[in-house]
A and B are shown apart, each in its own frame.
Chain A
Amino acid sequence: MRYVALLIGFIVGDAQADRVVPPSGFTARLTSFSAGAMAFLACFALALSVSSGRLAERWANELAQSLTIRISAPADQLVLQTQAALAVLRTTPGIASARPLSDEEQRALLAPWFGGALPVETLAIPQLIDVVEDPGGALDVGGLRFRLQAEAPGAIVDDHSRFRRPLVAAAGRLRGMSILSLVLIAASMAVMVTLAASAALAANRPVIEVLRQVGARDGYIAQAFTRRFTLRALSGAAIGTIAGMIAVALLPSTDAAGGFLTDLGFRGLGWLMPAMIPLLAAAVAFAATRFAALRTLGTMS
């Protein structure tokens, strides 16, 4: 409660005390603009982070809960081995369903390479079985391979791990990069606010001398500058965040085009996440200005 009271006191401030620092147009605009621009970029970085996290999770879940079994056998054994494999799958714990793909489905899978008129039934192509895992079960893929080898020697189990792992890793790296971007954006903003605050303090050296002469403590002087820069950063970042959210909302939707790049953005309560950006910007500005103010005041003694 004490910190909340301090925070409220800091935001509400003392209108008279604020007036001791003269209005400084250039540094004010610089701080507001840099905070706004950084918040805009942060909004995109956050959207990228959220989207890549969502993508990694989706790929992991979708691919992790399914298997494909390919039966490669001479034509006269294909049906027998398929039935044998299905029998094994029906008695295997952890499997929710298993069904062989129809000729139409297999034709559709090959269509991108051979066209839609491919006579699948006349070709010696493997039979595919789509297996869906039971989400609550614990499927022993290794054990399944051994059993299938015994009952249907032409069966090959593909648990998609060779596809899944690099995709999930790529999505994870993308997420890491976007989080790193957020950190770099925050650091850049801290540097810009520190420079702006240092410039304002240097420009106001006579003001500081007068304040010291009349008995102002360094904490009082620092707070007058800190509060001003923090509120500027807060307001600039709020505008930048709103602009960023509008820009993210205006990106093409998944339904319109499909794919990852068109799925960039927030969903549901995720839209509340950018609200943290102005608060973080204010916190960064507070720390940066206080550091700059106390350092500058220290050199003036």
Chain B
Amino acid sequence: MSRQKKWDGKQVIELDKVAYSYGGGELLCDLSLNLPAGSFHFLTGPSGAGKTTFLKLLYGDLLATAGQVRIGGLDTRAMSRDQIALIRRKIGVVPQQTQFLDHLRISENIALPLLVSGRDAGSARENLDGLLAWVGLTSHKDAYPPQLSGGERQRAALARAVIMSPEVILADEPTGNIDWEMSQRILKLLVELNRMGKTVMIATHDLALIRASKAQVQARVLRITNRRVQLAGADL
């Protein structure tokens, strides 16, 4: 499916006794976790627990202050900025606050990863129309980002995250500011991606969303408590 070289091994992302400190305070500590290829994870916890920080560690936006985060077997702290840029082409990120280039149309924004990676032509470009239809934005393809609603922006961000056919998709509160129906629609899209073999992690504080997913996908639920990540119990 992807033209990029696939990562070897079953664990696409590994955390080994990772800690992250900022401003003298330790936000996360003693994180050890493996994300196997094709797995589906939820990451939950109260607001401010460090879910966004955790996700940023997974795609090299933040670097661990202790321990190792290995992406495709490579320690992120040993990577150059160019290497991290290349890694990000294999990890699709749907950020909590969706950001777009407001002077470009939605279709151009979704195709942005193709442009910056020099693949803005041929079959990769042809996938754009299919992707717009998949996220239900065909009629909005010529609109500009400020013209979209919250749910449409989330779907556009999801389309942008997957256009390079990444191996991992990290979504940070993808249903944060949208209605239940739209949340279900986005969850369904992420489950579809997982069925295509993608590794998915969704950070959310919405326990109802996690419960609703149980019928659709076998997901592992992680909870951040007291700066540590634990496997959540059956109370969910």
Contact = CB atoms under 8 A, between A and B. Distances in A.
Contacts of B99: 206, 209-210, 213
A16 to B, nearest CB: 6
A220 B116 contact: yes
> Chain B, interface size: which category?
20 to 34
A16 B125 CA distance: 13
Contact of A218 (B82, B86, B160): B82
- What are the 7 A-B residue pairs with the smallest beta carbon separation, nearest first? A215-B89, A216-B116, A214-B113, A215-B88, A22-B103, A217-B85, A210-B99
A216 B84 CA distance: 10
Given A215-B85, A215-B89, A218-B81, A23 B103 contact: yes
B12 interface: no
Given A16-B115, A19-B108, A215 B164 contact: yes
B186 to A, nearest CB: 18
B117 A215 contact: yes
B88 A212 contact: yes
A13 to B, nearest CB: 13
B152 to A, nearest CB: 17
A79 interface: no
B95 interface: yes
A301 B86 contact: no
B160 A214 contact: yes
Given A22-B103, A215-B117, A215-B164, A301 B81 contact: yes
Contacts of A206: 99
A125 interface: no
Most buried by B among A19, A213, A214: A214
Interface in B137-175: 160, 164
19 contacts: A16-B115, A16-B120, A17-B115, A20-B115, A22-B102, A207-B101, A210-B100, A213-B95, A214-B89, A214-B113, A214-B116, A215-B86, A215-B88, A215-B89, A215-B113, A216-B116, A219-B82, A220-B116, A301-B81
Interface string A20-47: 1011000000000000000000000000
> Chain A, interface size: which category?
20 to 34
Contacts of B115: 16-17, 20
Contacts of B117: 215
A209 B98 CA distance: 11
Interface of A: 16-17, 19-20, 22-23, 206-207, 209-220, 301
Interface in B83-126: 85-86, 88-89, 93, 95, 99-104, 108, 112-113, 115-117, 120
Contact of B85 (A19, A22, A218): A218
Contacts of A209: 99
A94 to B, nearest CB: 70
Interface of B: 61, 81-82, 85-86, 88-89, 93, 95, 99-104, 108, 112-113, 115-117, 120, 160, 164
A206 B146 CA distance: 15
Given A20-B101, A217-B82, 15 more contacts: A17-B115, A20-B104, A20-B116, A22-B102, A22-B103, A206-B99, A212-B88, A213-B61, A213-B93, A214-B112, A215-B85, A215-B86, A215-B117, A218-B85, A220-B116
Contacts of A217: 81-82, 85-86, 116
A77 B61 CA distance: 102
A135 to B, nearest CB: 64
A107 to B, nearest CB: 81
Contact of B116 (A22, A23, A215, A301): A215
Nearest to A217: B85
A125 B228 CA distance: 110
Contacts of B102: 22
B148 to A, nearest CB: 15
A20 B115 CA distance: 9
A215 B117 CA distance: 7
Most buried by A among B115, B116, B164: B116
A210 B88 contact: no
Contacts of B61: 213
Nearest to A298: B81
Contacts of A20: 101, 104, 112, 115-116
A238 B95 CA distance: 44
A235 B141 CA distance: 35
A220 to B, nearest CB: 6
A16 B121 CA distance: 11
B102 to A, nearest CB: 7
A215 B89 CA distance: 5
